[in-house]
Structure 1
Amino acid sequence: MRPLDDGSRDWMEPGIYSVAPGVYRVPLPMPGNGLRAVNAYVLADGDSLTLIDSGWALDDAEVRLESALAAIGASPSDIRRFLITHVHRDHYSLAVAMRREHGTPVALGSGERAALAAVSQPGRVPLADQLPLLGKAGAAPVVDALVAAFGSLPPQDWSLWERPDHWLTPGEIRTPGGRHLDVVHTPGHTAGHVVFDDSAEGLLFTGDHVLPHITPSVGLHAAPGPLPLRDYLASLRLLLSRPDRRVLPAHGPVSPSVHARVEELLCHHERRFDEIADLVAGGAHTAYDVARRLRWTRRERTLGDLDPFHQALAVLEVAAHLDVLAAREELLATDDAEGGREPVRRFTLA
């Protein structure tokens, strides 16, 4: 194996791809048939390597990473630091596993403290924070389907949610090889998500904040805040106020302009706000009711066409939009607890 020019193949094809001088993209596998791959980025400065995001703690992912590093004459023991964009398993867990073997320090945004404390509780139920939110969204059938699916999940290794060695705060940092990066706090996808700006090379390592083909979810927070979508949109606008960069995303190919993609994402969400407000005006008063009337993915699927996990994501996305519309005072939200059941949040035109 040798480094390939990035863009020459499908972005998920295994290998190591040259992005810029001393910067390489390594797609690593993920379980399941959803996103399928996650990009780790290798910053090579002399004999020192820094990895931005690490991948999922899978044996296959570690083997592929080791093979990719060998193509540039390096090995995992040459990694001096992991810089992690956010505390999701496909970004964080392989770094923790490799730290146990090589002692490599791991750095994570300080805004992820509460989420990490929540997910590291042994025996925690999958989607523990999302189940009550789905109930409030009126999505009892989705909750039932998820709970039934939990029984088929493999046991989780809770120990992979160890604390990082360093908590990152906004501002400039230097990699062990001397490269300057600006840490930018971009909450929304998670509360402590950060991106890394390499101004010298004109690169932005965007994690899941800006993705080239899909809109990142805002419903998978552990210890969620009140308005994650509002945070996400503000974080997008923050990037518009900064110099444009090439997008180095966690899922998908490298693309030429952060600003262009951010404009597309902002337009998408404004269209979604309009669609959702029209459906509320037409009589859909809960997030679940609205989600059943919308179309999902580029294939224009109905909610019922999706598996339970993606149904949950869809309903939570709608709930996030409804909450922002209520915060804007375009909709009125009321919590209705009929017959002693848990309250369901209903929306009407303000």
Structure 2
Amino acid sequence: MTRAAGDAIVVTGVAQREAWQARVLPPVERLAGGIWSVPVPIPRSPLRYTLSYLIPADDGLVVIDPGWDSDEGWAALESGLRAAGAAPGDVLGVVVTHVHSDHHGLSKRLQETGAWVAMHPAELDALNPSGSPADWLRAHDVPEQEIAALAGTIGQHRLSEPARPDVLLEDGDAVPVKGRTLRTVWTPGHTPGHICLVEPEAGVLLTGDHLLPRISPNIGLQRPGSSPLEAFLESLEQVAAHDELEALPAHEYRFRGIAARARQLRAHHDRRCEEIVATVERLGTPGVWELASQLTWSRPWEEIGPMRVGAVAETMAHVRYLADRGALTWSGDVVTAAPQR
């Protein structure tokens, strides 16, 4: 067990972090409560892999976030199942924290072997997206010369024929397995129906993308009338109540310090809100594209390429949150500073 910088969190997945730093897949590991951690590779992604979890119950195995659908990914999942003494036919059910392809992709193959698939009902809309990506970009002042390159990236998390759910899990629902207590915690923000899972006997919280040890999940405005950042910040408070548990995230490595990590993420978004207000005051009446291009990102705006779609959506989420609180005004076309009172 190694303490992270500032002792804010404690890294418990030491081998996972070493693998992350070495840019290789971490090992398959058996964890508390007989849970298995299985890395499933993501092709051509800086995230590199999804940490899928195998949870044995009295009536079979439950797989959490089986990972990206590829032959390499399927082989990795099968290898993890073999390490746990199982095969795909032993999988009773699949629970996806959300329906992005790096989580939900292999659900279809497991469903075809007889497993049920479960998710939160708010993820159903994402399985059948409507509207044109180009129109979405055009509506937010993206220059025409950028649209052709970026429109295709909006669908990078979408599956052509995703597994439909057999089971819908609301907040507080128990996953339908025998001999284990696995409870749903609805944590919207990254997606409308994102969920975490509490397993109190094993002392763990499976956090999906909601709580990662090193990076913040993308919080983007996708549906009119929603405020995903507000939902995400409220969800952080909800998971912080489980501070006594070990966090099992879907990427990077395991850790303790759930409340501390929630505070870090809250502070990150507070700083981003302050930066956006200051940038709007400097620019006057920017559109969302112009505003996003002037903010601080992990790399310079000119170098982030397809990530600009996520940057625009995340900028919109923060603008919506700030406009709801009177810190900015947003006409839908341009953003302006709030009138001085």
Secondary structure in 2 matching 1:324: helix
CA contact 1:86–1:112 (8 Å) conserved in 2: yes
Between the aligned partners of 1:162 and 1:273, the Cα distance in structure 2 is 37
Q: TM-score, normalised by structure 2?
A: 0.86
Equivalent positions of 1:157-176 (< 5 A) are: 158-159=160-161, 161-176=162-177
Between the aligned partners of 1:174 and 1:319, the Cα distance in structure 2 is 34
CA contact 2:33–2:201 (8 Å) conserved in 1: no
1:237 alignment counterpart: 237
Residues 264, 198 of structure 1: alpha-carbon distance in 2 compared, 3 angstrom cutoff = same
Structure 1 residue 243, shift from structure 2 partner = 4.7
Percent of pairs with identical residues = 33
CA contact 2:58–2:178 (8 Å) conserved in 1: yes
Aligned-partner residue type, residue 302 of structure 2: G
- Choose which of 297, 314, 321 in structure 2 pairs with 1:317: 314
1:329 alignment counterpart: 326
2:278 alignment counterpart: 278
1:289 alignment counterpart: 290
1:169-201: per-residue Cα shift (whole Å, max 9, x none)?
122415534110121111111111111011122
CA contact 2:32–2:203 (8 Å) conserved in 1: no
Between the aligned partners of 1:142 and 1:303, the Cα distance in structure 2 is 13
Structure 1 residue 108, shift from structure 2 partner = 0.8
1:78-107: per-residue Cα shift (whole Å, max 9, x none)?
11111111111111120112211x111111
Structure 1 residue 242, shift from structure 2 partner = 4.4
1:347 alignment counterpart: 336
Equivalent positions of 1:26-41 (< 5 A) are: 26-41=38-53
Structure 2: stretches of 5+ with no match in the other structure: 1-11
- Choose which of 135, 140, 150 in structure 1 pairs with 2:138: 135
Structure 1 residue 71, shift from structure 2 partner = 1.7
1:91 alignment counterpart: 103
Q: TM-score, normalised by structure 1?
A: 0.83
Residues 30, 270 of structure 1: alpha-carbon distance in 2 compared, 3 angstrom cutoff = same
Aligned-partner residue type, residue 337 of structure 2: T
2:192 alignment counterpart: 191
Structure 1 residue 236, shift from structure 2 partner = 1.1
Residues 288, 266 of structure 1: alpha-carbon distance in 2 compared, 3 angstrom cutoff = same
Between the aligned partners of 2:221 and 2:27, the Cα distance in structure 1 is 30
- Choose which of 104, 126, 145 in structure 2 pairs with 1:115: 126
Between the aligned partners of 1:177 and 1:86, the Cα distance in structure 2 is 23
1:132-163: per-residue Cα shift (whole Å, max 9, x none)?
4433432225424314x67xx99x8622x231
CA contact 1:286–1:347 (8 Å) conserved in 2: no
Q: Do structure 1's residue 76 and structure 2's residue 73 form an aligned pair?
A: no
Secondary structure in 1 matching 2:252: coil
Aligned-partner residue type, residue 74 of structure 2: E
Between the aligned partners of 1:224 and 1:19, the Cα distance in structure 2 is 41
Runs of 4+ aligned structure 1 residues displaced above 4 Å come to none
Residues 224, 232 of structure 1: alpha-carbon distance in 2 compared, 3 angstrom cutoff = farther
Residues 22, 68 of structure 1: alpha-carbon distance in 2 compared, 3 angstrom cutoff = same
Between the aligned partners of 1:157 and 1:168, the Cα distance in structure 2 is 21
CA contact 1:331–1:348 (8 Å) conserved in 2: yes
1:205 alignment counterpart: 206
Aligned-partner residue type, residue 27 of structure 1: P
In angstroms, what is the RMSD of aligned CA positions? 2.4
1:304 alignment counterpart: 302
Aligned-partner residue type, residue 135 of structure 1: R
The number of residues matched between the two structures is 319
Aligned-partner residue type, residue 137 of structure 2: L
1:247 alignment counterpart: 247
Between the aligned partners of 2:183 and 2:88, the Cα distance in structure 1 is 25
CA contact 1:293–1:302 (8 Å) conserved in 2: no
Between the aligned partners of 2:81 and 2:224, the Cα distance in structure 1 is 36
Residues 224, 332 of structure 1: alpha-carbon distance in 2 compared, 3 angstrom cutoff = closer
